[in-house]
Amino acid sequence: MAIVGALTYVSLIAIGVPFAIPLSVLVAFGELIPLVGSWLARIPLLAIAAFDSPRTFVLTFLASILIQNLEGYVISPVVEGDQLDIHPLLVFVAVLMGASLGGAVGAFVAVPAAAILDLVARDVIVPWRRAQLSGSASAAARRPTTHAP
């Protein structure tokens, strides 16, 4: 939320949109509403940009698309992965798979489901398999070796 607000503020200042601070704060708080909140918060931003000039509107719209894609493909996977202690690529793939299998609901539950699977794999399956492998290695070491004459 803070990153998107800061990126929006920097892009609005660079473009020259008036009221950059309140509009950036509005866009940042729009991130609290899943899926559509960020675009609903950008409606006043785009309206003010349209009143300024067509060039400002187009640049603001393009900056909004760029920031939204940056958030979806880079910022969210890194932040969610850091918070859940899973790799950002796993977050990204989980959201894509969840969205393709279950639509918006699937995308919403994909990251927690991926975190649960990652936790089970790291804390249950990997130690169990290591115990199996070390058990078979120690059993092989205990077997007497016989040499044929």
* Nearest-angstrom CA–CA distance, 140 and 135: 9
Based on the structure, what is the number of domains in the chain? 2
Identify the domain boundary among 83, 104, 122.
Answer: 83
pLDDT of residue 145: 58
Do 60 and 105 fall into the same domain? no
Q: Do 1 and 21 sit in the same domain of this protein?
A: yes
Residue 146 is predicted with a pLDDT of: 60
Beta strands in 35-89 (DSSP E): none
3-state secondary structure of 20: helix
Q: What is the pLDDT of residue 141?
A: 61
Residue 134 lies in a domain: yes
Looking at the structure, do residues 92 and 79 belong to the same domain, yes or no?
no
pLDDT single digits (tens) 62-75: 999 999 888 877 88
Residues 41 and 105 placed together within one structural domain of the fold: no
Q: What is the pLDDT of residue 74?
A: 82
Which stretches of the chain drop beneath a pLDDT of 50? none
| Residue 132, domain extent | 85-141
Q: Alpha-carbon distance 118 to 74, whole Å?
A: 20
* The pLDDT of residue 95: 86
Q: What does the pLDDT read at residue 147?
A: 57
pLDDT value of residue 51? 93
Together in a domain, 7 and 28: yes
- Helices (H) then strands (E): counts for the chain: 7, 0
Q: Which of 83, 114, 133 is the last residue of a domain?
A: 83
Q: Answer yes or no: do 4 and 77 share one domain.
A: yes
Nearest to 61 by CA among 24, 22, 11: 11
Domain boundary pick from 34, 63, 83: 83
What is the pLDDT at residue 148? 55
